[in-house]
Amino acid sequence: MRVIRTGLQFPLLLSGVLGLWAQAKHPVSGRVIAPVMSAAGADWLERGEREREENPAKAIRALDIQPGMTVCDLGAGSGYYTVRMSRLVGPAGKVYAVDIQPRMLELLTRRLRLEGIENVVPVLSTEDDPKLPPQSQDLILLVDVYHEFARPQLMLRRMREALKDDGRLVLLEFRKEDQSVPIRLEHKMSVAEVKAELEPEGFRIDKVLDVLPWQHIFICKKSRK
């Protein structure tokens, strides 16, 4: 596997099954499902330009995370958002840091140890189950992750089960409607696509915040099926 840098060094990972990936589409929206960024691209998650390009500090403020909450960073990668969430929930709270790649969790666990963070639970997921306890989460955050899910419908169902009744599912996705955002098309999502894919799985979009330079913030809640 190798990393090709494209569009502001956004990593597109190629493997021997690229042809199969190119044919994978969401059955409802027809959206092409993007490949998962491997741990080989972890440096891109920690790049110095990220604050300017994505303004994660503003994104975190928009989530209104409170002390004592139980929250999840799904697709946590090397822990860029995980450590920020851990500070906000404090010692009485908990962060589930979920990733499908063991190597990413190794990087994250090393980071937690170096920073002395003790309120984070690393979780190895599968492509159809985040492995979260039922009715446990006040917030599940996915930062530029949902568009890579190989089985998005099943993941949404499992996430819905893991959320408390008043919990929130939050997606950050690069704006597909904005051609000036220098990210490959399959790594972007539109409001219409998110609505089409989430509503059949028991979610409604409560708010769409466009306060970030490149991304939509979708704040979603459970709907009545």
Q: Give per-residue pLDDT as tens, 212-225.
A: 999 999 999 999 86
pLDDT at 51: 81
Token pair listed for 36: 């998962």
Residue 123 β-bridge partners: 98
CB 135 within 8 A of CB 162: yes
* Encoded amino acid at 50, one letter: R
Pairing of strands 94-99, 2-6: unpaired
pLDDT at 38: 73
What radius of gyration, in Å, describes the C-alpha atoms of the chain?
Answer: 16
Residues of the chain with pLDDT > 90: what percent?
Answer: 80
pLDDT at 17: 32
Residue 169 β-bridge partners: 140, 220
pLDDT at 87: 97
- Residue 118, C-beta contacts closer than 8 angstroms, at least 6 positions apart: 91, 112
Name the pTM for this structure. 0.88
From 218, 209, 139, select the one nearest 171 (Cα to Cα). Answer: 218
Spatial distance between the Cα atoms of 85 and 32, rounded to a whole number of angstroms: 30
* SS3 state at 34: coil
Q: Which residues of the chain have pLDDT under 50?
A: 1-22
Where residue 51 falls (left for φ over 0; alpha for ψ -120 to 50; beta otherwise) is alpha
pLDDT at 6: 36
CB 45 within 8 A of CB 78: yes
pLDDT at 9: 39
Rounded alpha-carbon distances, angstroms, from residue 71 to 13, 87, 168, 205? 29, 12, 10, 19
Q: Give per-residue pLDDT as tens, 100-123.
A: 999 999 999 999 999 999 999 999
